[in-house]
Amino acid sequence: MLKANISHLPKDHPKVEFGRIGVLLMNLGTPDGTDYWSMRRYLKEFLSDRRVIEVNPVIWWVILNAFVLTKRPFASGEAYRSIWNEELDESPLRTITRSQAEKIAEKLSDAPQIVVDWGMRYGNPSIKSRLMNLQQQGCDRILLFPLYPQYSAATTGTACDKAFDALKQMRWQPSVRVVPPYYDEPRYIEALARSMKDSLAKLDWEPEVVIASFHGLPLEYFQKGDPYHCHCAKTTRLLREALGWDEHKLRLTFQSRFGNAEWLQPYTDNTIEELAQEGVKRLAVVTPGFSADCVETLEEIAMQGRETFEEAGGEKYALLPCLNDTPDSIDMLEAVIRRELAGWVDLDVSQTAEQPAERTLAASGTHG
């Protein structure tokens, strides 16, 4: 870290530090525990986000505090307990995101001026606390990396909002860049395809159908201009091409809907049930929109999905793991980071993922 020459300044002048570059990995978040009050705090922060819930705030405040937060913490706590990392007393999402940051820091060791950290939009460690920590270490330039391959205002957008809120409180704001969505990055698609092939090779059976399940989004948000559905559709199409599969073999669905409004379809749970009822006996599910396994993959898809499939007549079922902190995942994230830091620091970008030739979205109904 560089230190300015302050010999000519008064002795009580604050220390001036600069010259380092921060990289902040940002993910959704996690409760601190599975007990009622930990879950309630987490859910209140999450469900109070105006990017996540866009209904009338006065009406939603009453619904949230009078109904949702009195019951949902119990059910959510039970779900988290089923996948909790007991050894470290934390959720898998926190364990994996920390590991991703540590491994990326090792890969960037050729640039000692770079500091890699991680933070959560909801829960701890907060994005604000990690940004302040990076600034205190002398980072006057910070690369924000939302770990959402596909952009949505309710994920990438709100994570950036939280970072910008923290910047508003800084007297000396660092310069900031944001990594763009990487839903069609060649290295991302290649990593997904290899991960799927490796996971399928470990099964002693071959799935008749594989579902690519992405987190859901209210249909209204898409109609207002959110590009999320288009990004998910393109990721799925590119993944099909990389695997040499057709639309019957790899199907796009959306999970985790909440409330009574219509969400993006087809729904994952309904599709799992329908496939079993139609006679499909062997089914696998992959979740390309999640950078790390979490309650939505390990509990909702792996456990609830299996139960739904088997009760409807299915026999063989498997969740294929997320990219997590595997070598392919870290190599891909590193390549994106090296490319996005260009101009700030002289890095070897020979492994940088190539830019797709075209990033346009179809204006018609055939997205992706």
Give 221-243 pLDDT, tens digit per residue: 999 999 999 999 999 999 999 99
Q: Which residue has the higher pLDDT, 364 or 267?
A: 267
Residue 342 CB burial class (10 angstroms; 0-12, 13-18, ≥19): exposed
Res. 260 pLDDT band, cuts 50 70 90? confident
Separation of alpha carbons 156 and 223, rounded Å: 18
CA distances from 24 to 137, 160, 179, 301 (A): 13, 11, 10, 28
Kindly report, residue by residue over 135-176, the tens digit of the pLDDT. Answer: 999 999 999 999 999 999 999 999 999 999 999 999 999 999
In order of their start, the domains of the chain are: 14-181+329-340 (3.40.50.1400), 186-320 (3.40.50.1400)
Structure tokens given for 368: 């992706």
pLDDT of 363 reads: 34
Averaged pLDDT, 91-111: 97
Secondary structure (3-state) at 298: helix
Averaged pLDDT, 273-298: 98
Can you list the alpha helix ranges (DSSP code H) found in the chain?
36-47, 57-63, 69-81, 92-107, 127-136, 158-168, 186-201, 219-223, 228-243, 268-277, 295, 306-311, 327-340
For residue 266, say if its preceding peptide bond is cis, omega within 30 degrees of 0: yes
pLDDT of 6 reads: 53
pLDDT of 163 reads: 98
Asked if the model's pLDDT at residue 37 lies above 70, the reply is yes
CA distances from 37 to 31, 43, 100, 101 (A): 10, 10, 29, 29
Kindly report, residue by residue over 321-330, the tens digit of the pLDDT. Answer: 999 999 999 9
Convert 14-36 to b/e letters by CB count within 10 Å (16 or more is b): eeebeebbbbbbbbbbbbbbbee
215 is in an annotated binding site: yes
Res. 7 pLDDT band, cuts 50 70 90? low
Asked if the model's pLDDT at residue 359 lies above 60, the reply is no
Q: pTM above the 0.85 mark?
A: yes
Residue 112 CB burial class (10 angstroms; 0-12, 13-18, ≥19): exposed
pLDDT of 259 reads: 85
pLDDT of 355 reads: 45
Averaged pLDDT, 184-188: 97
Structure tokens given for 334: 């590193």
Share of the chain above pLDDT 70, in %: 92
Decide if 323 contacts 104 (C-beta within 8 A).
no
8 is in an annotated binding site: no
Asked if the model's pLDDT at residue 180 lies above 80, the reply is yes
